[in-house]
Structure 1
Amino acid sequence: MRTALYPGTFDPLTLGHLDVIRRAMTLADRLVIGVAINRDKGPLFSLDERVAMIVGETKGLAERMGCELIVHPFENLLIHCARDVGASMIVRGLRAVSDFEYEFQMVGMNRAMDDEIETVFLMADAHHQAIASRLVKEICRLEGDISSFVPPDVARALKERLHG
């Protein structure tokens, strides 16, 4: 069974994330969505809220795609999380060249720690290349329209969190 790990903070989950999730499910028999507990980033949503968003937005997707889907919070090194869940590949989404530079460094470090775990890059769909969770939060904070960046339930949660 091929297991892939797609890690991120998902604060919040975007349509770009969902695109990568769907496409990653074609590469593996099991996809683990690793929800990072990253205290340095100061997430807007709690871990439980982020996990619930992912579970809610991916409900039924595993059955339709023929791939097992697991949402797994983690706070350790990415490579350790990959080992913990039995992943043979780490999936990373790329939006721009600047993403690649950072990811290139991460791959080198991860390969130095475990050269049996491959990293696979999926380019963001052209419709989703500009979407970044940080920017979505900023647009929402300034009362802009985020409907083309996040699912409706995530948009409602963002508006409620930022505007009461």
Structure 2
Amino acid sequence: MTTAFYPGSFDPMTNGHLDILVQALNVASRVVVAIGIHPGKVPMFSFEERADLIRLSLGEVLPDRLADIEVVSFDNLLVDAAREHGTSLVIRGLRNGTDLDYEMQMAGLNQKLAPMLQTVFLPAIPESQPITATLVRQIASMGGDVSAFVPKVVRDALRRKLGR
């Protein structure tokens, strides 16, 4: 049984995140979705809200695989958090060459820190390549329609959060 570690901020969960999570479930039998908590950043959604949105989003597309994910938080090194959760793979989504350059650097550093942890790169589908959680938050906060970029449950949560 292979367990993968899929880290990110997921603030909020986007269609791109969901696509990579679905792909990760094709690679691993179990996925630990790890929400990074950064003391210097104030997220739009709390950890609990993000965890719920991840589960609800996956439930819309793969309800039979909900039991195969665990949502956790981490505030330490990715490699240490991955080891703490007994994972052997780190999942990283790639949207473009810029992502690849950055992720290759991180994978190399992680390999030095934790040689037994393998990084797996998964390509984003074309529709989700321009999507970032930062852009989604900006568009939503300015009253724009983010329906094409996020699962329906996330769109609704954004509307509630922003009073729209």
Normalising by structure 1, report the TM-score.
0.92
SS in 2 for 1:103: helix
Match of 1:155 in 2: 155
Percentage identity across paired residues of the two chains: 42
Aligned residues: 163
Q: Deviations over 1:87-137 (max 9, x none)?
A: 111000011211122212211111111111110111100111011000011
Aligned-partner Cα distance in 1 for 2:65–2:34: 21
Report the RMSD for the aligned CA atoms in angstroms: 1.7
Aligned-partner Cα distance in 2 for 1:157–1:64: 23
Aligned-partner Cα distance in 1 for 2:76–2:44: 20
Residues 131 and 149 in structure 1, CA contact (< 8 A), matched pair in contact too: yes
How far apart are residue 64 of structure 1 and its match?
4.9
Residues 62 and 69 in structure 1, CA contact (< 8 A), matched pair in contact too: no
Aligned-partner Cα distance in 1 for 2:68–2:159: 31
Match of 2:52 in 1: 52
Query: Any unmatched runs of 5+ in structure 1?
Result: none
Aligned-partner Cα distance in 2 for 1:138–1:113: 35
- Where in structure 1 do 4 or more consecutive aligned residues deviate above 6 Å? none
SS in 1 for 2:146: coil
Match of 2:89 in 1: 89
1:106 equivalent to 2:111? Answer no
Aligned-partner Cα distance in 1 for 2:38–2:101: 21
Aligned-partner Cα distance in 2 for 1:31–1:11: 18
Aligned-partner Cα distance in 1 for 2:43–2:129: 22
1:63 equivalent to 2:59? Answer no
Note closer, same or farther for the CA distance 1:62–1:77 as it changes in structure 2 (3 Å cut): farther
Normalising by structure 2, report the TM-score.
0.92
Match of 2:35 in 1: 35
Query: Any unmatched runs of 5+ in structure 2?
Result: none
Residues 4 and 31 in structure 1, CA contact (< 8 A), matched pair in contact too: yes
Residues 141 and 163 in structure 1, CA contact (< 8 A), matched pair in contact too: no
Residues 62 and 68 in structure 1, CA contact (< 8 A), matched pair in contact too: no
Aligned-partner Cα distance in 2 for 1:64–1:111: 29
Q: Deviations over 1:63-84 (max 9, x none)?
A: 259x721111111110011101
